[in-house]
């Protein structure tokens, strides 16, 4: 075969000698590099084997079981607390609504009772004033009629002297006095002798006097009856009013007490709602933290792609392979 111009042929012996000379120059450096690689591989195998044996798959599973158990327990506890708090908030909000309605009802009832008491008091005062005036008028009328009867009876009974000694007028009335009359109520004409020259006392129309006196006595009795009847009505009205007033005031007092108790209960329920809402916020944070922790554990402890038995078997195979590889490296004479 032709050799290209400018290229010198080399004998086989020279080529052999050249390769030997090159190896003899690079051998120490190559041996040192190999030695370092083998040493590193051996050390890495030994360390990997040591770690694998110190933390077997069973230990990993136990750790995962503990972490998952604690985290799921925290999650379940937070979820249960949230459900309890939701129930509590529902209950307390319903209670506040109920108490608010009851308080408003009691307030209206108290106002109605107070209004009725005020109206009844006004009616009683007016009725009392009317009855007192009626009794006063009847007393005055009775006194006037009584005096009139006394005068008439004295006159018609022939007690002329008693007629002249007039009783004091009734309260609210003025005695009639003729013009020019003296202190005894008689005028000059009254004291003049009778024109007919008749002597003796004049006893008047006795038959007519009986009718007049009888009528006045009936009137006097009517005035007396009016007084007693009106006084009886007044006494009954006072008793009824006092009973109504006492019962109404007791009812108002009881309702005010109940209203105050319900207002206190409402305040307590509202405070419970505030506390429950704060607890709810904390429990939701705990729940979210637990859920986040579960998600972090899933890749390590749950979503591994194989069962625990498979992972255990693979780990044991890995350890055996590491042992075999380390033994080979340790027992092989690499010439350096």
| pLDDT tens digit sequence for 235-255 | 999 999 999 999 999 999 999
Rg (CA), the chain: 66
Q: Which residue has the higher pLDDT, 21 or 53?
A: 53
H or E stretch at 199: none
User: CA 155 to CA 152: how far, in whole Å?
Assistant: 5
pLDDT digits (tens, 9 = 90+) for 53-73: 555 555 667 777 788 888 888
User: CA 192 to CA 66: how far, in whole Å?
Assistant: 144
Residue listed under structure tokens 């209004």: 115
What is the arithmetic mean of pLDDT over 84-89?
96
b vs e for 20-48, b when ≥16 Cβ sit within 10 Å of the residue's Cβ? eeeeeeeeeeeeeeeeeeeeeeeeebeee
Answer yes or no: pTM beyond 0.85. Answer: no
% of the chain exceeding 90 in pLDDT: 42
Residue 178 has pLDDT above 70, yes or no: no
Model confidence at 174, pLDDT cuts 50, 70, 90, reads: low
Residue listed under structure tokens 């999650």: 75
Architecture category of domain 69-178+204-306 in CATH: Orthogonal Bundle (1.10)
Residue 5 has pLDDT above 50, yes or no: no
Q: Which positions ≥6 away from 330 have C-beta within 8 Å?
A: 42
b vs e for 153-173, b when ≥16 Cβ sit within 10 Å of the residue's Cβ? bbbbeeeeeebeebeeebeee
In this predicted structure, what is the pLDDT of residue 127? 96
User: CA 135 to CA 133: how far, in whole Å?
Assistant: 5
User: CA 96 to CA 104: how far, in whole Å?
Assistant: 12
pLDDT digits (tens, 9 = 90+) for 287-322: 898 888 888 877 777 655 556 566 667 666 666 776
Q: Which residue has the higher pLDDT, 151 or 269?
A: 269
**Quick one: which of 272, 300, 149 has its CA closest to 210?**
149
% of the chain exceeding 70 in pLDDT: 58
Q: Is 120:241 a contact under the CB 8 Å cutoff?
A: yes
**DSSP classification of residue 306:** S
In this predicted structure, what is the pLDDT of residue 261? 97
Q: H helices within the chain, ranges in order?
A: 12-54, 57-156, 160-164, 188-191, 206-297, 308-331
**Quick one: which of 162, 150, 167, 165 has its CA closest to 201?**
162
Residue 10 has pLDDT above 50, yes or no: no
Q: Which of the listed ranges 5-9, 217-221, 270-274 does the model predict with the highest average pLDDT?
A: 270-274
On the CB side of 174, CA atoms within 13 Å amount to: 3
User: CA 194 to CA 198: how far, in whole Å?
Assistant: 6
Residue 124 has pLDDT above 70, yes or no: yes
Per-domain residue ranges of the chain: 69-178+204-306
Residue 18 has pLDDT above 60, yes or no: no
């Amino acid at each position: 075969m032709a050799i290209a111009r400018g290229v010198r042929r080399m004998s086989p012996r020279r080529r052999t000698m050249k390769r030997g000379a090159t190896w003899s120059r690079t051998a120490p450096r190559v041996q040192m590099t190999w030695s370092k690689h083998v040493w590193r591989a051996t050390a890495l195998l030994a360390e990997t084997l040591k770690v694998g044996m110190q933390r077997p798959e069973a230990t990993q599973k136990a750790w995962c079981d503990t972490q998952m158990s604690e985290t799921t327990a925290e999650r379940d506890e937070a979820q249960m607390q949230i459900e309890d708090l939701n129930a509590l908030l529902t209950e307390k909000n319903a209670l506040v609504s109920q108490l608010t309605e009851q308080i408003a009802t009691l307030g209206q009832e108290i106002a109605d009772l107070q209004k009725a008491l005020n109206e009844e008091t006004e009616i009683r005062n007016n009725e009392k004033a009317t009855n007192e005036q009626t009794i006063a008028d009847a007393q005055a009328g009775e006194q006037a009629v009584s005096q009139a009867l006394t005068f008439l009876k004295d006159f018609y009974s022939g007690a002329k002297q008693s007629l002249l000694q007039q009783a004091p007028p009734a309260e609210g009335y003025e005695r009639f006095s003729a013009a020019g009359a003296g202190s005894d109520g008689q005028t000059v004409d009254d004291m003049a002798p009778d024109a007919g020259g008749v002597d003796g006392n004049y006893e008047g129309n006795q038959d007519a006097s009986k009718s007049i006196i009888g009528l006045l006595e009936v009137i006097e009795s009517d005035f007396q009856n009016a007084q007693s009847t009106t006084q009886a009505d007044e006494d009954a009205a006072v008793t009824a009013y006092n009973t109504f007033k006492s019962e109404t005031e007791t009812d108002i007092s009881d309702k005010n007490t109940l209203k105050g108790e319900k207002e206190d209960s409402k305040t307590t329920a509202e405070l419970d709602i505030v506390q429950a809402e704060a607890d709810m916020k904390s429990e939701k944070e705990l729940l979210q933290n637990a859920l986040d922790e579960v998600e972090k554990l899933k890749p390590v402890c749950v979503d591994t792609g194989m069962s625990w038995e498979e992972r255990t078997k693979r780990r044991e195979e890995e350890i055996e392979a590491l042992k075999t590889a380390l033994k080979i490296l340790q027992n092989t004479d690499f010439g350096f």
